[in-house]
């Protein structure tokens, strides 16, 4: 398994619904369907990297198997305003 701090992006030419759903099961940070521009790729990568940095403490604890510490780190993020509101609550629900 790759570290949760690793950005995992899928780039594909597949547009069929069942293929997109299959990709979602892999839980990538993002995906792009061809064709796309360099600006689109850049924007998606910047957002994915920002998200990894935002959740760095949570992901670090999870990678080390310290689930209680990950929960505490997640709880600290819940009080913050903005980004990734739904991800914070979804991560918390996994514990």
Residue 6 pLDDT exceeds 70: yes
DSSP H helices, the chain, are 17-25, 38-54, 56-63, 67-78, 85-94
- 7 versus 17: the higher-pLDDT residue is 7
**What does the block give as tokens for 10?**
């899928």
Question: ∠59-86-79 over CA atoms, to 5°?
Answer: 75
Question: ∠37-39-44 over CA atoms, to 5°?
Answer: 100
Q: Say if residues 20 and 11 touch (Cβ distance below 8 Å).
A: no
pLDDT grade, residue 81 (50/70/90)? Answer: low
Q: Say if residues 9 and 28 touch (Cβ distance below 8 Å).
A: yes
pLDDT grade, residue 71 (50/70/90)? Answer: very high
């Amino acid at each position: 398994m790759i570290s949760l701090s690793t950005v995992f992006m899928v780039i594909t030419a597949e547009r069929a619904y069942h293929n997109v759903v299959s990709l979602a099961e892999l839980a990538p940070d993002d995906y792009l369907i061809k064709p796309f521009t360099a600006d689109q790729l850049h924007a998606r990568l910047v957002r994915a990297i920002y998200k990894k940095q935002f959740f760095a403490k949570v992901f670090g604890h999870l990678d080390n198997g310290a689930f209680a510490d990950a929960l505490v780190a997640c709880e600290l993020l819940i009080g913050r305003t903005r980004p990734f509101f739904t991800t914070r609550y979804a991560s918390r629900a996994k514990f």
